[in-house]
Amino acid sequence: MGEPLRIGMVGAGTISGAYLDTLERLGNVTLTAVTDLDPGRAAAVAARVPGTAVAGSVAELVARADVDAVLNLTIPAAHADVALAALAAGKHVYGEKPFTTTREEAAALLAAAGAGGRRLGCAPDTVLGTGVQTARRAVDDGLIGTPVAATAFMTTAGHERWHPAPEFYYRPGGGPLLDMGPYYLSALVHLLGPVVKVTGAASRPRAEREIGAGPRAGERLGVTVDTHVSGVLQHAGGALTTLLMSFDVQAARLPRIEVYGTGGSLSVPDPNGFDGPVELHGSTGEWETLPVSAGYPGAGRGTGLADLARALAEDRPHRASAELARHVLDIMLTLLDSAREDRALRVASSCARPDPVEA
Residue 221: CB atoms within 10 A of its CB come to 17
**Residue 2: its pLDDT value, please?**
74
With cut-offs at 50, 70 and 90, classify the pLDDT of residue 246.
very high
Structural domains of the chain sorted by starting position, each given as residue range(s) with its CATH number in brackets: 5-122 (3.40.50.720), 126-294+326-346 (3.30.360.10)
Taking residues 177-183, what's their average pLDDT?
95
* Whole-Å CA distances, 5 to 29, 79, 142, 304, 356: 5, 21, 38, 13, 23
Average pLDDT of the chain? Answer: 96
* Whole-Å CA distances, 210 to 159, 173, 221, 225, 312: 10, 20, 6, 16, 45
3-class DSSP string for 263-312 = CEEEEECCCCCCCCCCEEECCCCCEEECCCCECECCCCCCHHHHHHHHHH
Residues paired with 267 in a beta bridge: 258, 279
Four-point Cα dihedral 40, 41, 42, 48, nearest 10 = 110
With cut-offs at 50, 70 and 90, classify the pLDDT of residue 1.
low
Taking residues 147-162, what's their average pLDDT?
96
* Whole-Å CA distances, 36 to 264, 314, 346: 49, 32, 39
333-358 pLDDT tens trace: 999 999 999 999 999 999 999 999 99
Question: What residues contact residue 353 under an 8 Å CB cut-off, 6+ apart?
Answer: 189, 190, 193, 194
> Strand, coil or helix: what is 134?
helix
**Residue 283: its pLDDT value, please?**
86
**Residue 173: its pLDDT value, please?**
82
Residue 251: CB atoms within 10 A of its CB come to 7
pLDDT at 41 over 70: yes
Taking residues 257-269, what's their average pLDDT?
98
Assess contact for 178 and 297: CB atoms under 8 A. Answer: no
Determine what percent of the chain is predicted with pLDDT higher than 90. 95
Higher pLDDT, 209 or 76: 209
pLDDT at 285 over 80: yes
What is the model's pTM? 0.94
195-232 pLDDT tens trace: 999 999 999 999 999 999 999 999 999 999 999 999 99
Strand locations in 166-263 (E)? 195-203, 208-210, 220-222, 228-235, 240-246, 257-261
**Residue 54: its pLDDT value, please?**
98
